[in-house]
Amino acid sequence: MKLSQAVSPILREYGLSEKEVYAVLRQCGSDTVDYDFGAFNAKDWLSRDAAEWGREKRETLESAGVRAGVSHVTGFSHPDEATYVEKAVCCAGAIGADRLVVPLLYTENNTRREYEEFNLTYLERLLKAAREAGVTLLIEHAGSWLKPHYSHHAIELMHLIEKLGEPENLKVNLNVGHMGVAEIKPCTEIKMLGELIRNVDLSDNFGGMPLAVHPEREALGLAPMMGYIDYDRVMQGLCDINYRGDFNLRIDMPRVFPKNSLYCGETPLGIMPLEITKRLQIWSRRVAEHMLRTYGLL
Number of domains, the chain: 1
Q: What is the average per-residue pLDDT within 59-79?
A: 93
Highest mean pLDDT among 29-43, 105-119, 188-202: 188-202
Sign of CA dihedral 42, 44, 47, 48: negative
Q: What is the mean pLDDT of residues 139-166?
A: 83
* Residue 242 CA to its chain's centroid (Å): 22
* Overall average pLDDT of the 32-55 stretch: 93
CA nearest neighbour of 181 among 163, 208, 159: 208
Q: Identify the pLDDT of residue 152.
A: 77
What order of strands is seen across the sheet that includes strand 136-139? 36-38, 70-74, 99-101, 136-139, 170-175, 197-202, 246-249, 3-6, 32-34, 67-68
What is the rounded average pLDDT of the residues 19-45? 91
Q: Residue 22: give the domain boundaries.
A: 3-294
With contact defined as beta carbons under 8 Å apart, do 164 and 196 qualify? no
pLDDT tens across 270-295, in order?
667 888 888 988 999 999 999 999 99
Cα 99 from Cα 138, distance rounded (Å): 7
Q: What is the pLDDT of residues 28-37, one digit of tens each?
A: 999 999 999 9
Higher pLDDT, 161 or 258: 161
In terms of average pLDDT, the best of 121-135, 145-159, 200-214 is 121-135
Q: What is the pLDDT of residue 153?
A: 87
The three-state (H, E, C) secondary structure of 230-287, written as one string: CHHHHHHHHHHCCCCCEEEECCCCCCCCCCCCCCHHHCCCCCCCHHHHHHHHHHHHHH
**Radius of gyration of the chain from its Cα atoms, rounded to whole angstroms:** 18
The enclosing domain of 148 has a CATH number of 3.20.20.150
Sequence length of the chain is: 298
Helix residue spans in the chain (DSSP H): 9-12, 18-27, 42-45, 50-63, 82-94, 112-133, 154-163, 176-181, 186-193, 215-218, 231-240, 274-294
pLDDT at 263 > cutoff 80: no
DSSP letter, residue 103: P
pLDDT at residue 176 tops 70: yes
pLDDT score of 168: 96
Three-state secondary-structure class, residue 87: helix
Contacts made by residues 48-54, CB under 8 angstroms, sequence distance 24+: 50/87, 50/90, 50/91, 50/93, 50/94, 51/94, 53/91, 53/94, 54/91, 54/93, 54/94, 54/95
What is the rounded distance in angstroms from the CA atom of residue 147 to the CA atom of residue 164? Answer: 23
What mean pLDDT do residues 119-146 have? 91
- pLDDT value, residue 261: 55
Residue 65 is predicted with a pLDDT of 93
| C-alpha pair distances (Å), 125 with each of 5, 104, 136, 167, 231 | 29, 13, 13, 13, 36
Evaluate whether 190 touches 174 at the Cβ level (below 8 Å): yes
Per-residue confidence (pLDDT) for residue 212, from 0 to 100: 45
Average pLDDT for the chain: 87
